[in-house]
Every structure is written in C-alpha cells, then in structure tokens.
C-alpha cells in the first residue's frame, strides 16, 4: 500500500475525529469508512468507527469493527474495551466479561475497567441465578396487592386521586415532577393497575381513525427525557378530546426521568383511553430495564414492587397501531417472512409471552431496522435483522398501506423518510443522552391522513446525568 494512501487515510481519520468531537456520529462513521477504504491496516480506524457505532446503538457493527481492530493488533486495549461495551449493550454479558478481563490484564491500574469487570461478573452471576430459579408461569405482580388499604397521610401535599383519573391530578403531577417530587405510592400503584387493565383488553394491533375536527400526533422514543416530552406538549398542544396522541415505544431507560414519563403517559391513557395510545418498544422489557436504568430508577424513587408492576403492565401493551388503514405504526420494523400480514398481527396473542425472546413476530416488531439495500440483512444491533426497500414495498402493497411508521433509532433531524417514502422513522428524544446533537420530531395526522412533520430542539433540564450512557474514551 503506497504511503500516500496511508497518509490520506490518516487525514480522513482526523476529520472523523473532529466530527466525533462535535457529536456528529453519522458523519464520523462516513469519514472512518473512507479512511478504511483507503487503508485497511490501521486498527484505530476500525476501533474509532466501533465507538461511533456504539453511540448510534449499532452494537452489532461495533462488535465487528472492534474484532477487526483486535485481529490487526491483538494488544489494542481500546478495541477490547469497546467490544465489551457493545456486547454489554446487547446483553451478551459472558462475551463482554472476556473482554473486560482482557483490558484489566493489560491495564491492571485501569479503575474504570476494574469497575466494569466487577459489574459484569455480578451481572453474569445474577443471570445464572435467575435462570436456575426461573418458573415458567410466575404469579402476577398484582396478586395480593391491596391498594385500598394503603393510607395517604395528611402530610402529602399533592392533589388527591380517587377512583378515576382527573386533569387536576395530572396538572399537579407534572408540577411535582418538575420540582423533583414524587407521587404517593398508592397513586403510583393505582395508575399502573388501571392502565394495565385498559391495555390488556386492547387488541395487539389497535385500529384508529382521525375524525373531522381532530388530529393525532405520533411520537417516537422519549427515553426518560421528561422535560423534552413537556416541550412536545408545549409546542404541539396537550392531549385533549380533539387531540389524540400515540407514543411508539421506548418511553423509559437511559434518561433520568423514566418513571416521570411512564406515570404521565399512563395517567393520560387512563384519563382518555380512546384518545391516547401506547405501543410497546424494545425498552419496555425486563432485560433492557435492568441494563439501562429503569429498574434501578423505580427502586430508587419508589420500590421494587413498582418495577414489577410496570413490568407486567408493559407486557400488556399493544404492539402496533393502524391509523386510518393507511399507516402501520410499530416500534421496530418489518418481518423475516414476506407472508406476514396485518391479519397475522391481529391474531397474535401477546399475552402468552410476557417478554419478546430472541425470535418470532414480537421480537421482530420491537427490534428490526430498515437498510438502504434490497433484501434482508443481519442486524447492525446484533439483535433481530434489517429489511430493505423491496421488503417494505411488498408489505405495503400486500396490506393496502401507504407507509409504515416506526421509531427505535436516532435520526439527526428527528425523523427520516426512506424506502421511497414507505418507511418513516420518528424519534422524539432530542440531544439523546445529552451527547448526540440530534433534533427530536413528531408527526401530526389530520382527517385527510396527510403527514405533517415537526422538529424541535432539546430544552434545559436539571443537571442529572443520564442513568446509563456509555463513556467515550478519547479517540
């Protein structure tokens, strides 16, 4: 390889580093990719691109790039570290454990690595223990829950909640959350139980129209960014009898106000069950909640039972919403089998399986992603798969759809229209994890069923760091 190619590649790497420092992960990936095309013998090119993939949650790609860096230089510590982080993210704890051990062996004084190694060892032991005691049909978390017997003492300074949700309670709850306060444990349990009962009775695919004089707003991931959720309502209007909302999964994890978002969305669902809709996301699952903060947040702010109740309520959520017979809305994306139809979704009994598992329709609905090339490919995340524009076209034509609307991925402009207009991604967590310089977005749909895209910026919030965001070592 001529030295000029290596020099040109290094210059591209430096441009990638600059984009990374500006938190523009997609541009950084492009520069590192061009550097690799020029010269593919430098492990830092692959390791740096792996770090970008981690930021973009493309953990499968990150594992592949870190592995290539290690093949080029078996002593390259950053590559072991990044592969460990990526495997941790997709819950491959045993593989991550090997790499954390490799880092500590090479850098015995690395405190961060020793801490991560200890955490990973603890997690692996916990997984093995839970597997050993696992029962096939665990009892309901709501069993023996006597909400009526819980007393709200006189010192509670918030609005009281009776047997029905009220706008007054919601307004007070929003203000409490803004001030760093909690709602009473009794009210927390009431809200979760009410919404669990409502959503359990809904079909796996909810079918809604948009009546004259009303509109429906579709929002993507909010990930515990409570103050940005309030910004959506400030800009676009709060839920009302004439303004319906659909939140397309991933309400919780990562951000530090996941319980606040969950309680607010649930309260609106209880208040207006036919005008407020919730689809399940891949982060409304036990494994993800343990790894990305929601379980810990529930225990810290309320108690362990609160998490168990939320967990069971998450498994009751619908998996998709069909809007006006034109837009199929689900968190992840399409399927490994072209024969899958909307009728298959209608018939899917989500109540027989609380967690999505590693295969099947539920897993695909929560985890898959679009790709620009035709056909299907391995997942960049390391979970699920990817589907091309031809897959989307066939699904839409077969089912009489105009487009699918999904979330699940950061988009720098808050949304993206792909696959010849048939695949739309909307993401509603701007400045994701306080590190990505992305906008948020939401989609308004009126009676004519036309899509109206709106972008918005992140707003200031109290200085509490996201509960789980990967540290980014210097490139």
CA distance 454 to 448: 17
Lookup: tokens for 294: 């929601």
Query: Is the CB of residue 228 less than 8 Å from the CB of residue 432?
Result: no
Nearest alpha carbon to residue 261 among 299, 221, 291 = 221
Q: Name the DSSP letter for residue 279.
A: E
CA distance 273 to 457: 29
Quickly list DSSP for 89-156. HTT-HHHHHHHHHHHHHH-TT-HHHHHHHHHHHHHHHHHHHHHHH--SSPPPTTTT--GGG----TT-
Is 283 considered catalytic here? Answer: yes
Q: How many CB atoms lie within 10 A of CB 220?
A: 31
CA distance 252 to 221: 8
Lookup: tokens for 393: 């076209």
Query: Is the CB of residue 386 less than 8 Å from the CB of residue 368?
Result: yes
The catalytic position among 283, 331, 408, 419 is 283
Per-residue buried b or exposed e for 256-275, using 16+ beta carbons within 10 Å of the residue's own CB? bbbbbbbbbbbbbbbbbbeb
Name the residues annotated as catalytic.
Answer: 283
């Amino acid at each position: 390889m001529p030295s000029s190619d290596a020099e040109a590649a290094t210059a591209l790497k430096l441009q990638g580093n600059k984009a990374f420092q500006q938190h523009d992960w997609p541009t950084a990936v492009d520069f590192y990719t061009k550097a690799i095309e020029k010269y593919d013998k430098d492990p830092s090119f692959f390791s740096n691109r792996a770090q970008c993939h981690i930021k973009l949650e493309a953990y499968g790609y990150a594992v592949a790039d870190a592995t290539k860096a290690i093949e080029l230089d078996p002593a390259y510590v950053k590559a072991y570290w990044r592969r460990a982080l990526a495997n941790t993210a997709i819950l491959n704890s045993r593989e991550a454990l090997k790499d954390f051990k490799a880092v500590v062996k090479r850098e015995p004084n690395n405190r961060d690595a020793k801490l991560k190694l200890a955490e990973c060892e603890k997690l692996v032991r916990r997984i093995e223990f839970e597997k050993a005691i696992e029962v096939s049909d665990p009892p309901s978390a709501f069993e023996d829950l006597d909400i009526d017997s819980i007393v709200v003492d006189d010192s509670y300074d918030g609005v009281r909640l009776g047997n029905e949700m009220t706008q007054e309670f919601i307004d007070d709850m929003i203000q409490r959350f803004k001030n760093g306060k909690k709602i009473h444990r009794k009210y927390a349990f009431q809200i979760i139980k009410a919404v669990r009962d409502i959503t359990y009775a809904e079909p796996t695919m909810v079918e809604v129209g948009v009546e004259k004089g009303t509109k429906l707003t579709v929002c993507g991931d909010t990930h515990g960014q409570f103050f940005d959720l309030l910004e959506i309502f400030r800009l676009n209007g709060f839920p009302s009898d004439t303004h319906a909302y659909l939140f397309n999964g991933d309400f919780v994890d990562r951000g530090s106000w996941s319980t606040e978002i969950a309680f607010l969305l649930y309260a609106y669902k209880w208040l207006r069950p036919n005008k407020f809709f919730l689809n399940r996301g891949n982060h409304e699952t036990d494994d993800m909640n343990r790894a990305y903060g929601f379980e810990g947040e529930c225990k810290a702010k309320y108690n362990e039972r609160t998490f168990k109740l939320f967990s069971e309520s998450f498994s009751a959520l619908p998996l998709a919403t069909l809007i006006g017979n034109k837009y199929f809305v689900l968190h992840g994306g399409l399927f490994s089998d072209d024969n899958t139809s909307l009728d298959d979704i209608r018939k899917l009994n989500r109540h027989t399986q609380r967690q999505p598992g590693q295969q099947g329709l539920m897993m695909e609905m929560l985890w898959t992603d679009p790709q620009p090339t035709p056909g299907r490919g391995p997942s960049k995340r390391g979970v699920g798969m990817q589907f091309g524009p031809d897959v989307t076209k066939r699904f839409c034509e077969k089912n009489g759809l105009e487009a699918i609307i999904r979330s699940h991925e950061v988009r720098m402009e808050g949304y993206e229209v792909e696959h010849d207009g048939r695949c739309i991604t909307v993401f509603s967590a701007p400045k994701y994890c306080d590190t990505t310089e992305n906008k948020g977005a939401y989609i308004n749909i009126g009676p004519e069923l036309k899509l109206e895209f709106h972008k918005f910026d992140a707003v200031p919030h109290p200085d509490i760091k996201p509960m789980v965001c990967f540290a980014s070592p210097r490139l």
